[in-house]
Copies of this chain bind each other. A is one copy, B any other.
Amino acid sequence: MFADFTRALVLLVVAVPAWAGLPIQHWETANGARVLFVEAHSLPMVDVRVSFDAGSARDGARHGLASLTSTLLDQGTGERDAQAVAEAFENVGAHFGASVSQDAVTLSLRSLVDAARLQPALDTFTAVMAQPRLADEDFSRERERVLLGLRAAEQQPGEVARRAFYKALYGDHPYAFQPDGEAEALQGMTVADVRAFHQRHYVAASMVIVLVGDLSREQAGRIAEGLASAVPRGEPLSPLPPVAELAEGKTVHIPFPSTQATILAGQVGMARIDKDYFPLYVGNHVLGGSGFSSRLVEEIREKRGLAYSVYSYLMPMAVPGPFLMGMQTKLDQAEQAEGLLRGNLARFVEEGPSAAELEHAQKNIIGGFPLRLDSNREIADWLSILGIYRLPLDFLDRYPGQVKAATPETVRAAWQRRIHPDKIVMVIVGGPQQ
């Protein structure tokens, strides 16, 4: 561990120039799409990310619609089927991807930048984004794939726990549901729903375009205009509803024929834009976010051997995402484990981290940070986050300073403001019907 730290600090010194003052250029296209661009000439490539406010929080009652829509994009455009679309990318050495979260759908492209390859890659990307064929047969096939996945998930205690935890935490808020959706909602869906969702949500007004690579500002401008002008201007969506704090804790026990109990415990945590972001984040590193050296690992794994893996994290989202502690243990140790999760959280919120723990966490985070920002792909991923959540453009530059600014007092105060150990949602999957 010590060797890792030394190395991380050395790399920090070396690597800082690569991202301190990351030169992000930012503008809007004619129809209102936001663009973030970093010129990077070390590779003859460009990484493109296009995000829309079209994540599963926009599903309404059609749980799974946003995800299914994103899956269908590269299944065909015009006369081309899925195979032909894949070939069109592959023929110019380009790579396409799509991902969806509660908050956004993000389409990504990595392409060579010479004109003979970049333009065909962008043409295919644009068609996939803006004119997917959304054919009935593709819809049926992909929906079936999702349904099969949901049935498989029902038989995995970790998945069962995760779904139950989000439902317990979020009630009737859109975050109560996972992006892949719900079987019943999917069964009632039609390709017309997908078409309407695509038309309504893939619009310039909620579009974030990220470009990182071997382009001039002028080229980047032309590319961004081309992408944005392929979709309707549209309207920005209303913000998501606020998340209600739970009035009291609750425990959900789900019988499951496993030899292990899967335990998830937590509360509503923090949003991406949250003044307590850094003290909460750094504090969690001490509690259960740092892998081998966290308190939860020390108390539950090292001292008592109750679990292979125990962790905690805060998932920052558009409105507060979950704070979550998780572990698996033997069924007959579940009660003990539950008590230890509760007890360690209560102690941490009451006392905060020690000065030594905090310093350890800060060094670890700051040392690791530039390592996560030294490739175009990683920079592009971060720029998408900045764009989607409208974080300040100097967020990454100020990151190490903000981490360093945390003190045991600010961390404790933030955790006491936000986390209430007497109102924990506890989900335990495993054991017989009680």
Give the residue of B43, B144, B258, B371 whose beta carbon is less than 8 angstroms from that of A92: B43
Given contacts A43-B93, A81-B7, A157-B155, A87 and B148 within 8 Å (CB-CB): no
Q: Is the CB of B375 within 8 A of A44?
A: no
CA distance A42 to B87 in the complex (A): 13
Q: Is the CB of A257 within 8 A of B260?
A: no
Kindly list chain B residues whose C-beta atoms are within 8 Å of the C-beta of A158: 152
> With an 8 A cutoff between CB atoms, is A151 at the interface?
yes
Q: Considering the complex, which residues of chain A in the window 1-48 have a beta carbon less than 8 Å from any beta carbon of chain B?
A: 4, 7, 42-45
> With an 8 A cutoff between CB atoms, is A434 at the interface?
no
Give the residue of B117, B259, B309, B376 whose beta carbon is less than 8 angstroms from that of A148: B309
Q: How many copies of this kind of chain does the complex include?
A: 2
Q: Is the CB of A259 within 8 A of B154?
A: yes
Kindly list chain B residues whose C-beta atoms are within 8 Å of the C-beta of A92: 43
> With an 8 A cutoff between CB atoms, is A156 at the interface?
yes
Q: Is the CB of A156 within 8 A of B154?
A: no
Sorted from nearest, which 10 A-B pairs have the closest CB atoms? A257-B257, A90-B375, A43-B93, A155-B258, A83-B371, A45-B93, A155-B157, A148-B308, A156-B156, A87-B374
Q: Is the CB of B375 within 8 A of A151?
A: no
Q: List 29 A-B contacts (CB under 8 A).
A: A7-B81, A42-B91, A43-B112, A43-B117, A44-B93, A44-B112, A45-B93, A83-B371, A87-B371, A87-B374, A90-B374, A90-B376, A90-B377, A91-B374, A91-B375, A144-B308, A147-B308, A151-B308, A151-B328, A152-B156, A152-B158, A154-B259, A155-B155, A155-B156, A155-B157, A155-B258, A155-B260, A156-B156, A257-B257
Kindly list chain B residues whose C-beta atoms are within 8 Å of the C-beta of A91: 42, 374-375
Closest to A140 in B: B292
Closest to A153 in B: B156
Kindly list chain B residues whose C-beta atoms are within 8 Å of the C-beta of A258: 155, 257
